[in-house]
């Protein structure tokens, strides 16, 4: 994609709100403006082309996804569904939007259905199948097992939800 520098003038309060939103959602100012402008001119009613289907809300141009991970997300969601997950969210470096950041691994918050019979190899099979797709190691983090409040906050702050049962 070719880029071109553009000088624009915005009201101070609009720019302050945009910058606060960009920081909170881990966009650069340029990424935020480009994404919003693309959604506006394409006539999309949902931000960033959000695709909604039963029990799933995933935006293909989701805030915080690393460009190296973004094209892999449909396959990641498919694997998570086939393994019966009711929740899956990317966290960590794979959610950093800067293309200069190269995630060494994939960190995925997961939740299996309550009361589902599981064996240890179910977890290992899921991890290995995901690792094959993303061509890097995968760390699965069971969301309900995280009790450290600082880690919970970090996971909440960086997560990009891929799959959530309705």
| Better pLDDT: 53 or 154 | 154
Cα–Cα dist 144/163, whole Å: 16
Residue 3 forms part of a structural domain: no
Same domain, 28 and 91: no
Q: What is the pTM of this model?
A: 0.64
> Rounded to an integer, what distance in angstroms lies between the CA atom of residue 11 and that of residue 150?
37
- Residue 38: domain span: 12-42
128 backbone dihedrals φ, ψ, rounded to 5°: -65, -40
Answer yes or no: do 135 and 63 share one domain. yes
DSSP element (H, E) containing 101:
none
pLDDT per position as a tens digit, 63-112: 568 889 988 999 999 999 999 999 999 998 888 887 888 899 999 999 98
Specify the pLDDT at position 136: 96
Give the DSSP letter of residue 45. Answer: S
CA 88/CA 101 separation, integer angstroms? 22
17 and 73 both lie in a single domain: no
- Higher-pLDDT residue of 38 and 148 is 148
């Amino acid at each position: 994609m070719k880029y071109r520098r553009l000088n624009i003038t915005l009201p101070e309060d609009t720019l302050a709100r945009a910058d606060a939103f960009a920081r909170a959602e881990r966009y650069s100012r340029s990424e935020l403006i480009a994404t919003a402008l693309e959604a506006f001119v394409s006539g999309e009613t949902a931000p960033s082309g959000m695709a909604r289907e039963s029990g799933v809300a995933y935006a293909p141009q989701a805030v915080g996804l690393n460009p190296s991970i973004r094209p892999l997300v449909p396959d990641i969601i498919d694997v998570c569904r086939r393994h019966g997950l009711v929740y899956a969210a990317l966290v960590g470096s794979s959610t950093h939007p800067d293309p200069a950041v190269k995630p060494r691994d994939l960190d995925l918050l997961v939740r299996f259905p309550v009361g589902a019979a599981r064996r240890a190899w179910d977890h290992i099979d899921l991890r290995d199948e995901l690792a094959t797709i993303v061509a890097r190691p995968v760390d699965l983090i069971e969301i309900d097992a995280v009790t450290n409040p600082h880690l919970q906050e970090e996971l909440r702050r960086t997560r990009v939800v891929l799959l959530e049962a309705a």
